[in-house]
Structure 1
Amino acid sequence: MANLTLLYAKAALTGFTRRGSTLPESTVDTGVTVDPAHLAAYNGVCGFGVRDELPTTYPHVLAFPAQIALMTGRGFPFPLPGLVHVANRITARRAVLAREPLTLRVRLANLRPHERGRQFDVVSTASVEGEEVWVDVSTYLRRDGGTGGTAERAGKPEPTAVWDLPGDLGRRYAAVSGDRNPIHLHPLAAKAFGFPRAIAHGMWTKARCLAAFEGRLPAAHTVDVRFKAPVLLPTRVDFSAEETGDGWRFALWSARPHLEGAITPVR
């Protein structure tokens, strides 16, 4: 598995000189087995209980080193600093047990225009003995001009839960996810990138929301979210969930929306 510390150092030293208009066609394949202690630590940080089944978001942290390896590798056109994670869609085709060895594959795809620049997908899959059981599509935005656009603002939904998020949440999630982007770790580091305080990881917010549905999800489902605005730490946020005719809609709010998502069954 890739050394994330070295990859982040590489990104900081070489990333700002990158230019290009195509994505490399390379893939990263790796086999992993779940470390029960790591899984327990992840579950604790994200609010999941102790179960034999992996949380739907957990394989994302297993694939994350390969994702970073591709985005710091030869031919990747954008600097890693400044990329914005704007959306994530995960499809679990069935429940995955912690004891099942996984084969992970990660690739880059679908570079396309965006009103604020360009965006692309990082596609990760997990297979068990040749059966694809999990698919993750993370969409990143590279801002480089564009027309801007106006974000939609709906009325704030009625909260079903209120969560207090501590100031060290970014450091705690970084310890289990490997994502040690400085904007999540310390207020001074975050200020260097234009944030008044450290911000929560987007994938933590998705995982924490998903944990609120534990025990109510079908074995096969898709969880699709859009990351709307950073969650500054420490803070208090409102979580809302509404059952639909075919799943759930949910959101995370404070003074503004931070995340909007939907859960739908896969048939």
Structure 2
Amino acid sequence: MATRRYDDSPGLGSLYARTVKATLRKAEYEPDIDGLTLELPRTAVDQDHLTTYREVTGFSAGPALPVTYPHVLAFPLHLDLMSDPSFPYKPMGIVHLSNTITQHKPLPMHAELAIKVHSSPERPHPKGTVFDILSSVTVDDEVVWTDSTTLLSRSAGTPTAHADLLPEPEIEPTAVWDLRSNLGRRYAAASGDRNPIHLFKLAAQAFGFPRQIAHGMWSKAAALASIQRAGGLPDAYTVRVDFRKPLLLPSQATFAHRRTGNAVDFALYNHDQSVTHLIGQLQPR
């Protein structure tokens, strides 16, 4: 397995340019079966950036990082991986289906982190091919956080393939969120994810959406921040979300969650609960 190491996080400007180029290329290569691993052996958290992230997602201040924050730190490596010539899919147009994070223990906000990213083998899906981008964070030679981002590359698909989905829970609403039109731009500034579908109405319309849509990882972060404020989060847990229908901006969304001990089922719907945007499960470890 080839490994690429960085002394600093790769710049997003050049990565986005390479992503566009990778989307326009012809598939004239055979991908490496073992794939490419990207490593950032040492990175420190920018405390001003962390504050901005907390403000846009709703996480409370504290000595530990929000559980979704390392995903933001790993995101440049995700882009680097998907725009590399060895990557078998065109990066623009890939659909984010699901995200699973395991936190083995809280990550100190001043710790030096080591980040590693690689992709899983592909597997069939009714609507194309799915694969995972796998990320891990190590502190003092101990893996303390892992992330699996499940992505779909659309094609004819395999009708008989199994689509792994969380069951939709029956939960009473616990909050109503009023989401402004600039939410996508605010989260893009905090996360680095400047996909045009999240930024402006005209840009989103060019990709077939009626107006801009919220980032899926913002929805996950905001849901967990809401659960944190309502009763706290365990120190060690696995939390998975499935992204269903896009969440248009501006809009009003309905959040629902239910605790069973330290476990939590949660979901995000539109204003009248006729459309499901996100389904999630949190299980303590």
Q: TM-score, normalised by structure 2?
A: 0.88
Change (3 A) 1:198 1:74: same
2:122 alignment partner, one of 107, 111, 119:
111
Is the 1:18–1:79 contact (alpha carbons within 8 Å) kept by the matching residues of 2? no
Change (3 A) 1:61 1:18: farther
Residue number in structure 1 paired with 2:132: 121
How many residues were matched structurally?
A: 266
Change (3 A) 1:196 1:262: same
Change (3 A) 1:211 1:148: farther
Q: Determine the C-alpha separation between the residues in 1 that align with 2:159 and 2:260.
A: 32
Residue number in structure 2 paired with 1:260: 279
Q: Say whether 1:251 aligns with 2:251.
A: no
Correspondences of 1:1-267 after superposition (within 5 Å): 1-19=9-27, 22=31, 25-30=35-40, 31-146=42-157, 157-214=171-228, 216-244=232-260, 247-254=263-270, 255-266=274-285
Q: Determine the C-alpha separation between the residues in 1 that align with 2:188 and 2:195.
A: 8
Is the 2:132–2:149 contact (alpha carbons within 8 Å) kept by the matching residues of 1? yes
Q: Determine the C-alpha separation between the residues in 2 that align with 1:245 and 1:152.
A: 20
Q: Determine the C-alpha separation between the residues in 2 that align with 1:243 and 1:49.
A: 20
Structure 2 alignment gaps of length 5 or more:
1-8
SS of the residue corresponding to residue 217 of structure 2 reads helix
Residue number in structure 1 paired with 2:6: none
Structure 1 alignment gaps of length 5 or more:
none
Is the 2:128–2:157 contact (alpha carbons within 8 Å) kept by the matching residues of 1? yes
Runs of 4+ in 1 over 2 A off after TM superposition: 16-24, 146-158
Change (3 A) 1:206 1:18: farther
Q: Determine the C-alpha separation between the residues in 2 that align with 1:212 and 1:176.
A: 18
Q: Determine the C-alpha separation between the residues in 2 that align with 1:200 and 1:229.
A: 11
Moved more, 93-102 or 152-161: 152-161
- Which residue identity is paired with 1:244? T
Change (3 A) 1:9 1:97: same
Q: Determine the C-alpha separation between the residues in 2 that align with 1:191 and 1:207.
A: 25
Q: Determine the C-alpha separation between the residues in 2 that align with 1:196 and 1:209.
A: 24
After TM superposition, give the deviation of residue 16 of structure 1 in Å: 3.0
SS of the residue corresponding to residue 59 of structure 1 reads helix
After TM superposition, give the deviation of residue 170 of structure 1 in Å: 0.4
Q: Superposition RMSD on alpha carbons, in Å?
A: 2.0
Identity over aligned pairs, percent: 44
Q: Determine the C-alpha separation between the residues in 2 that align with 1:147 and 1:48.
A: 40
- Which residue identity is paired with 2:20? A
Q: TM-score, normalised by structure 1?
A: 0.94
Is the 1:170–1:200 contact (alpha carbons within 8 Å) kept by the matching residues of 2? yes
Q: Determine the C-alpha separation between the residues in 2 that align with 1:148 and 1:234.
A: 35
